A = this chain, B = another copy of it.
Amino acid sequence: MRIGELSARTGVPAATIKYYVREGLLPGGERISHNQVRYGEEHVRRLRLVRALVETGSLPIAKVREVLAEIEEPDRDLDGTLGVVAGALSAHWEPPQGPKAEDVETAHAIMERQGWHRVNPGIPQINVLADVIGRLRLLGMDDMVDRIDQYARAAETVAEADLRLLFTRDDRDEILETMIVGTVLGDALLSALRRIAQVEISGRTFNAREGEPDGTAKG
């Protein structure tokens, strides 16, 4: 198909498709002649993946490129790839200053209590964790810091589900795509579900009597 059809099928403007090709998010099509290029189904699929990461996952273009590069990289094992993907996805913001040693220590203590002994204690996610801990403390919410273990347990059950899904795939590229999609769209999914569940539970608690549902948002 030509660019017009690719655009029509994905809803992405042709100019944007050209931009993605230039930026290396989408492989160029097969060159037919001086000004003709042919695209295939794999371009449709890749384009949908890119749009999911950009629109729903809010990943900057540079991160998308970085993450997708892993798909083209054949000689890395899946465990290592998960590390790279997770790492790339953690820090779309650079910590202004590194977190305080005290907060990093708290983060390590949490991991210790969860029995998470296999992860390299230097991975960038630890800094995100320490950053959040530091900010909670600055805001005087030390009691929330004390409850992070509860969140960690929930995160572990989610991660187990993530990995189980991964094991249902056997093709390498499918595993990688599932990893990327599962991580990025999974975050969006979890935060939406958490907000809905908060409203539900809040409704149950504050309006404990029977009656029509509550939890009205914005009118």
Please report A residues at the B interface, Cβ cutoff 8 Å: 11, 45, 48-49, 51-52, 55-56, 58, 77-80, 82-84, 86-87, 89-90, 92-93, 96-97, 111, 114, 116-120, 122-126, 128-129, 131-132, 135-136, 138-139, 141, 143-144, 147-148, 150-152, 154-163, 165, 168, 177-178, 181-183, 185-207, 213-218
Contacts and interface: CB of A to CB of B under 8 A. Distances in A.
Chain A interface main SS type: helix
A135 B11 CA distance: 13
Given A84-B217, A86-B195, A90-B191, 17 more contacts: A11-B96, A11-B97, A51-B135, A55-B96, A86-B198, A86-B199, A116-B200, A120-B213, A123-B196, A123-B215, A135-B185, A144-B182, A150-B161, A151-B190, A163-B198, A187-B191, A190-B194
